[in-house]
Amino acid sequence: MSIAHNEFIPRPGIVNKQGHLPDPSELVCVELPKVFDQCLIKRCLVYACGPNTVDTDSDLRSQPLNAPRAFLGCRDFKLRLISVEKIPLKRNPNYKKVIICFVISFYADYIDCDENKKCEFFEINRTEIISKIYCPDSIAQIAASFSCGEYKDLDSGIIKLEMVAECLDGFFCNDDCGESFLDITLGFHLIVKCELVVQLLIPAYGYCPVPRQCEEDYEENPCDRFDRTPVPKFFPDQKLKPLFDNDVDVECN
């Protein structure tokens, strides 16, 4: 039995029981980017001088460092899309060959021989080629007005990037002149999405309600918190094997 409207509070959440929601109050038309196709690019990059390849990048070496001792890790990854080129395929123009240029930047932390924590900024420029992705062009031409009275022609086709990156390793090396450098091994997952701004008809329950008031952090008496904690086990669990194995059949003579 579905819940009644007067007992239902619309809010974001997991729908875990089918048929337990009331009927929508209306059908609404919304305009939003819809994903038409997407693909994943997985790369593991190491430092190498010369032109960049699928597995190497010349920007993964730091500037000369002063007495580095230990590599700590990387942080503050950022992704910036520089340019997109979409080339229609001859057999089906709705499929495109997409060339994307983007920049990945991050900080690498390390400790020097004086126990000072320092960081080095890295910025790598990458180019990826997706040989085939479904990326149709919009039939309608879009023009929009803004609050300042300015009118613009908009492109409804969107190429969107999503990235999860991490430093897999970092080690120090010395060149022939004795200068120290930090070389980074970078791994990243990059999702390339082709989106198109469309109108979708969806069921709705109206506007979202006003959210609850933000919680405040009150200082709690440590003795009160201690009184609520369960009594600990005074001895560890024993790890014993059973005396009899029920799974073994006893043969009768």
Per-residue pLDDT of 61-100, as tens digits, reads 999 998 899 999 999 999 999 999 999 999 999 999 999 9
For residues 128 and 98, give the distance between their C-alpha atoms in angstroms, rounded to a whole number: 8
Sign of CA dihedral 221, 222, 227, 230: positive
Is the pTM higher than 0.85?
no
Comparing 128-142, 178-192, 197-211, 237-251, the range with the smallest average pLDDT is: 237-251
| 166 inside domain | yes
Where do we find the tokens 């932390």? 109
Q: Into how many domains does the chain fold?
A: 1
Count Cβ atoms below 10 Å from residue 240 Cβ, excluding itself.
Answer: 6
CB 108 within 8 A of CB 73: yes
pLDDT by residue (tens digit) across 180-206?
999 999 999 999 999 998 899 999 988
User: What phi and psi, each to the nearest 5 degrees, are found at residue 121?
Assistant: -90, 130
**Domain presence at residue 238:** no
User: Is 148 a domain residue?
Assistant: no
Q: What range defines the domain where residue 55 resides?
A: 36-138+154-195
Residue 121 lies in a domain: yes
**Residue 226's pLDDT is what?**
86
